[in-house]
Amino acid sequence: MHRSALFIDGGYFAKVLKCVGEPRIDYLRLSERVCEGSERLRTYYYNCMPYQSEPPTHEERTRYSKAYKFIFTLKRLPRFEVRLGKLGRIGGQFVQKRVDILLAVDLVRMSWGKQIQTAVLLTGDSDFVSAVQAAKDAGVLTKLYFSSSAVHDELLDACDDCFEIAVDLIDKVRMQK
């Protein structure tokens, strides 16, 4: 059986969704849609929990609670794994740490372990170019879903097939009310 896995860069996808009005997404339907034509082994979602000061402000508590509920809901979906990095402070800003490496390690491990024949990535970061090349060296077909406003040319060049995240895809995977 031809197997695929979907690797979602959560921070990236959140930015893409923000540009189209932040619709609520049915992540199971999204996974099935982009992995169509093969058995979806699993969907991996990568992100960080939001910052909370000590003690947290009301706004920080609310944001953290919403993120926790979202992550909890994702974990309950069939064949979903959530991988959380850490927030690090660089200068005065908080940045995600370990998220990209978690995704890259899973992609390479699953490719070389012959667990998947297709890797579907939802990201735009050139940090994944080497991992994509390693997956291709293992014989895995790589598909990229991206936003034209936020994708690196090197990643587009590295992947076998590239699909822009169009409004019609977003409409097909919106959460039903």
Range of the domain at 130: 3-172
- What pLDDT, on a 0 to 100 scale, did the predictor assign at position 87? 79
Task: Count Cβ atoms within 10 A of the Cβ of residue 2 and give its class: 0-12 exposed, 13-18 middle, 19 or more buried.
Answer: exposed
Domain count, the chain: 1
Nearest to residue 34, comparing CAs of 177, 175, 176, 161?
A: 161
User: 20 in a domain, yes or no?
Assistant: yes
User: 39 in a domain, yes or no?
Assistant: yes
Question: CATH no. for residue 132?
Answer: 3.40.50.1010
pTM: 0.94
pLDDT digits (tens, 9 = 90+) for 110-168: 999 999 999 999 999 999 999 999 999 999 999 999 999 999 999 999 999 999 999 99
User: 165 in a domain, yes or no?
Assistant: yes
User: 126 in a domain, yes or no?
Assistant: yes
User: 177 in a domain, yes or no?
Assistant: no
User: 136 in a domain, yes or no?
Assistant: yes
Q: Mean pLDDT over all residues of the chain?
A: 94
Residue 83 binned pLDDT confidence (cut-offs 50, 70, 90): very high
Least confident window among 11-20, 50-59, 64-73, 78-87: 50-59
Token readout for 97 is 């740490």
- What pLDDT, on a 0 to 100 scale, did the predictor assign at position 42? 98
Specify whether the CB–CB gap between 56 and 64 falls below 8 A.
yes
Residue 93 binned pLDDT confidence (cut-offs 50, 70, 90): confident
